[in-house]
Structure 1
Amino acid sequence: MAKTKWNVDPAHTTLEFSVRHMMISKVKGTFHDFEASVEADPEDLTTADIRFSVDTASIDTRNKDRDAHLKGEDFFDVEKYPKMTFQSTDIVKKGGGEYEVTGDLTIRDTTRPVTFTVTFEGQGKSPWGQEVVGFSGKGTLNRSDFGLKWNAPLETGGVLVGDEVNISIELEATKEA
């Protein structure tokens, strides 16, 4: 199959993350507003072009005060850096529908390579006759590498917010007509 443009369906796509809190639990969140562009042969992603642009102000951790802090200068500084972006640079097929997708992630004007494990979940026809594909992705990054360094020491040792951020993506896309 040839490389095709796929329109990411935001109603069926999620961008989620989790980070350790107080060294004992995890806080989860999501970004609601994003744009994505995917040009790919879903049966062989090795030649795909994958781009994401995420509105950092759309962060949601189900806590208004925490979200306000995350949007502020200590973290995303959404007034100065309203977007974070990802552009794929290298894709390696691992087998069984699994790929390693490496790309340039930019947060707060800092760009670093990150790698996600991406799994092709399947392809089919929607009830309206459109060709649809699904992918799952996961990866980990160090938030300090992107200038998100705010933290507070705990009396018991350790810090309030972990550096390691786990990212999970569920993506559904429709073949462009």
Structure 2
Amino acid sequence: MSLSTWKVDTAHSLLEFSIRHMMISRVKGVFNDFDATIEANPEDLTNAKIEFSIDINSIDTRNKDRDDHLRSPDFFDAETYPKMTFTATSIKKTGENQYDITGDMTIRDQTKPVTFDITFEGKTKDPWGNEVAGFSGSTTINRKEFGLTWNSALETGGVMVGEDVKINIEIEAHKQAE
């Protein structure tokens, strides 16, 4: 089956992350503005072309001071590096509707290979007859590998911010007219 172009419906999609805070809890956040170029047969992603671009300034952890700190040079340095990107380089089918999608993730000026565990959730038609496909997935990255090294020691031992960042995605994509 040939590849089709799919547009991510950001109103029905989610790009979220979580990270340990003060060694005892997790802080969650989202990126509200992102875009993707997807050329795929959703029922067989092995030949898909996938690129994501995330607007760093759209970070939202429900706390303005924390969001401003995350945008600062201590973390993302959004003024210098306004986008985070991911470009798939290898896609392997690992089971029924399951894939490992490996690609180059760039945060700040660091590009590293990252693998997402992705599930094709299915395909349907919306009330207007348009084809819609759903995908979910996750990965964990070490933020220090991408130059996000700021931290603060805690008086009781340990550090303020963990190193591992869990990323979850929920994508609804609409097939574009050919």
* TM-score over 0.5 (shorter chain): yes
CA distance in 1, matches of 2:166, 2:2: 33
CA deviations on 1:51-70 (whole Å, 9 max, x unpaired) are 00000000000001000100
Amino acid at match of 2:90: D
- What TM-score, normalized by structure 1, do the two folds share? 0.99
Matched, 1:66 2:84: no
**SS at 2:166's partner residue?**
strand
Matched, 1:19 2:19: yes
CA distance in 1, matches of 2:122, 2:48: 16
Identity %: 64
Matched, 1:115 2:121: no
Name the structure 1 match of 2:41: 41
Give structure 2 stretches of 5+ with no counterpart. Answer: none
Name the structure 2 match of 1:56: 56
CA distance in 2, matches of 1:156, 1:49: 47
CA distance in 1, matches of 2:68, 2:95: 42
CA deviations on 1:71-122 (whole Å, 9 max, x unpaired) are 0010011100000100000000011211000000000011000000000000
Shift of 1:158: 0.9
**SS at 2:11's partner residue?**
helix
Shift of 1:156: 1.3
Amino acid at match of 1:134: G
CA deviations on 1:5-51 (whole Å, 9 max, x unpaired) are 10111111110000000000000000001111110111110111110
Amino acid at match of 2:3: K
Name the structure 2 match of 1:169: 169
In the TM superposition, 1:85-164 aligns within 5 A as 85-164=85-164
Amino acid at match of 1:70: L
CA distance in 2, matches of 1:110, 1:119: 27
Shift of 1:174: 0.6
CA distance in 1, matches of 2:94, 2:30: 28
CA distance in 2, matches of 1:46, 1:155: 49
Amino acid at match of 1:112: K
Shift of 1:157: 1.1
CA distance in 2, matches of 1:15, 1:159: 26
CA distance in 2, matches of 1:51, 1:165: 20
- What TM-score, normalized by structure 2, do the two folds share? 0.98
CA distance in 2, matches of 1:96, 1:22: 39
